[in-house]
Structure 1
Amino acid sequence: MSADDKTLAIYGAQAQAYADLTDDLEGDKHLVKFIAAMPDGARVLDLGCGPGRAAGQMGAAGLDVDAMDAVPEMVTMAAAHPGVTAWQGTFDDITGDTIYDGIWANFSLLHAPRAAMPRHLAALRHALKPGGLFHIGVKTGTGEARDNLGRLYTYYTEAELRGLLTAAEFTPQGSWTGRDTGLSGEPADWIVIHSHG
């Protein structure tokens, strides 16, 4: 199992605070770009959906949205958004072939152990339709560490992440980097990469 129990418990306890932090996604250029790239009536997966803000925007845009999170409090919040089907599951529960036109994994897979990342990416590649869009965001750096809230993070360099994506038979394309302060109050560097299946 690649879910860290302590990390999940922290997200459960902080669910409302996290929802408040992610309340304003209207200006998220990566989400806007992702939605714009989807064909009419596209089916998408929001992996590690949290309170479902991104899933809700996808649903409002007319997409058929599956949202998955390992934290029951987050699933309840995500399910409240119109057009969103939410369920509880971990990265190990990713199955199926050629289901999704797009997969949104926005700062979720960084909680999986490094050794599990290749198999998770392979499962996501199988679930993505040929030519589909895969969005991944992670914090950049090296190693693994817990933040001051106790959440476990695995950090990646851009080269390492691109290598993992290529090995999973994705075609990495555009990337963006930045630095933000999240729920823990600690600033962190990040990268987002869009790939096609």
Structure 2
Amino acid sequence: MKKLNSTLAYYEKHATAYAARDFLGTFGEYRELFIARVKEEFSKKRTPENLKSENPIPPEHQVPPENQVLAKPKILELGSGSGRDAQYFLTHGFDVTLVDGSAELAKIAKERTGQDVLVMDFADLDFEAEFSGEFEGIWAAASLLHVPSDQLPGVLQSVERGLQRNGVFVASFKESDHDWVDDLGRYFCAMTESHLAELVVNSGLELVSIEKGEGQGSDGRPTVWLWVVARKN
């Protein structure tokens, strides 16, 4: 993702103040939904029947149970910000990869979570090779809404490539029929329910649901949020 300069500049300049705000209660319902869906799909892959179908390890090469490291669902957070959501996911037993465009927020997130943060545009992630089919879930709360409208289809196609089969994608956008820049200098892409549904389907993902709800943005202004849940077939 190539954020507009004014958007990234805002988060770089106000990273400390932004991170200090208590957003813990925000998006809680959808965090829990994401966690539940990812764990459900992950557990299906760990059933005895599915494990038997994998290449068996000869007994002499097997690791004793007391030395085994329990597998964790791997998820990607696009737009990790201060690390609030990543910290929550870590406490629920996930292996989390964090990505954000702001170097200043990445520093705060690393201090908060102990995890390294990839500082880059979303479009620069190597979904063709390094991250192809890597993740059980991809979480993008209030982050992809900063992607320019003409670049969003490509980013969503990358999301599809990054997910494992039956992987879960959850993201949120602000409803609007036009692109705009808010009073803080942040760019937002145009998004309606029908447009979001079209983008998801065209990316190759299966649309599970789109829910609309009233709330507010980090600027305190009333906002109509669009939450999308999708999966990879």
Aligned to 1:158: 193
Q: Can you give the 5+ residue segments of structure 1 that lack an aligned partner in the other structure?
A: none
Structure 2 counterpart of 1:49, one-letter code: S
How big is the alpha-carbon RMSD for the aligned residues of Structure 1 and Structure 2? Answer: 1.7
* Alpha-carbon contact 1:45-1:102 (below 8 Å) kept: yes
Compute the displacement of 1:98 (Å): 0.2
| Larger mean Cα displacement after TM superposition, 92-101 or 130-139 | 92-101
2:46 paired residue number? none
What is the percent sequence identity of the aligned residues?
Answer: 28
Contact 1:173 1:194 in 2 (8 A): yes
Q: Is the 8 A contact 1:65 1:85 kept in 2?
A: no
Is 1:46 aligned to residue 81 of structure 2? Answer: no
The answer on 1:172 being equivalent to 2:216 is no
Alpha-carbon shift at residue 161 of structure 1 (Å):
0.5
CA deviations over 1:60-103 (Å, ceiling 9, x no partner) = 11100001000011111111234633120111212221010000
CA contact (8 A) 1:51 1:78 kept: yes
Question: Where do 1:51-130 residues align within 5 Å?
Answer: 51-82=82-113, 84-96=115-127, 97-130=132-165
Counterpart of 1:187 in structure 2 is 222
What is the CA–CA distance in structure 2 between the aligned matches of 1:152 and 1:27, rounded to whole Å? Answer: 21
Return closer, same or farther for 1:16/1:173 CA change in 2, 3 Å cut-off: same
Q: Residues 26 and 60 from structure 1, CA distance in 2 versus in 1: closer, same or farther, beyond 3 angstroms?
A: farther
Across the two proteins, how many residue pairs are aligned to each other?
197
3-state SS, counterpart of residue 123 of structure 2: helix
Alignment check: 8 A CA contact 1:44 1:104 kept: yes
- Aligned-partner Cα distance in 2 for 1:99–1:49: 18
Alignment of 1:125-140 (within 5 A): 125-140=160-175
CA distance in 2, matches of 1:32, 1:143: 31
State the 4+ residue runs in structure 1 displaced beyond 6 angstroms.
none
Contact 2:80 2:109 in 1 (8 A): yes
1:58/1:83 Cα in 2 relative to 1: closer, same or farther (>3 Å)?
Answer: farther
The Cα shift of 1:12 comes to 1.4
User: Do residues 24 (structure 1) and 24 (structure 2) align?
Assistant: yes
**Structure 2 runs not aligned, ≥5 long:** 43-70
Shift of 1:25: 3.7
Q: Distance in 1 between matches of 2:27 and 2:215?
A: 15
Kept in 2, the 8 Å contact 1:70–1:88? The answer is yes
For 2:55, the equivalent position in structure 1 comes to none
TM-score of the aligned structures, taking structure 2 as reference length: 0.80
1:23 Cα deviation (Å)? 3.6
Residue among 181, 184, 189 paired with 1:146: 181
Larger radius of gyration: 2
Note closer, same or farther for the CA distance 1:164–1:185 as it changes in structure 2 (3 Å cut): same
> 2:37 aligns to what?
37
Is residue 55–residue 84 contact of structure 1 (8 Å, CA) maintained in 2?
A: no
Provide the secondary structure at the position in 2 that maps to 1:141: coil
Q: Which has the larger displacement, 14-23 or 125-134?
A: 14-23
User: TM-score, normalised on structure 1?
Assistant: 0.93
**Is contact 2:101-2:121 (8 Å) kept?**
yes
